[in-house]
Amino acid sequence: MTVTDYIILRKMHRPVHNGDDFSRLHPKMKRGNRAKIFAPFDALSGFDETMDAETVFTVHPAELSEEMKQKLDLKLQNILERYKELPARRCDRLSKLQISVLYFEIDSEQTMLKNDGVRGNYRWLNGDVLDIDPVHRTMDLGDQHLEIDRIYAIE
């Protein structure tokens, strides 16, 4: 093909089929349907989610000093004593003993993905103390079930 032939082909218009056999067999496609043909697809399913999971900021739990552990234990003892004075029925305990705790929530997905120990984030949780189990070291704070060992501060 020479350059002249190429220029002539470039100047030719798109063929138009109106009412012939080709147009009956191959009707013109709507723009929306045509766009679907060229739309990107996820060749690596789950790749984007994995990359997004890599960018999530998580930390390892901090180690408390002995002094901070003692202060936290004193606050927990105080809460336990006040909890024992509350009514026996759980619904009667609402709004009687409200606290805020800094709690470490484990992100199991990040822990498995990074494979370098426990990972998660710290959150301040507020609510009514509805139940304390000193044997299993758990506390129900509103609708949250907390492990006491993952509490880092109490207000």
Summarised one tens digit per residue, pLDDT across range 4-46 is: 666 666 666 666 777 788 878 888 888 878 777 776 666 777 7
Rounded Cα distance, 142 and 149, in Å? 18
Give mean pLDDT, residues 45-71.
79
Query: Given pLDDT bands bounded at 50, 70 and 90, which one contains residue 100?
Result: very high
Give mean pLDDT, residues 79-93.
82
Give mean pLDDT, residues 80-105.
84
Query: Given pLDDT bands bounded at 50, 70 and 90, which one contains residue 83?
Result: confident
Range in 4-18, 82-96, 100-114 the model is least confident about? 4-18
**pTM for this prediction:** 0.60
Task: Please determine, for residue 98, whether its predicted confidence score (pLDDT) is greater than 80.
Answer: yes
What's the Cα-to-Cα distance from 1 to each of 5, 7, 8, 140, rounded to whole Å? 6, 10, 11, 81
Among the listed residues 94, 81, 82, 104, the one whose alpha carbon sits nearest the alpha carbon of residue 143: 94
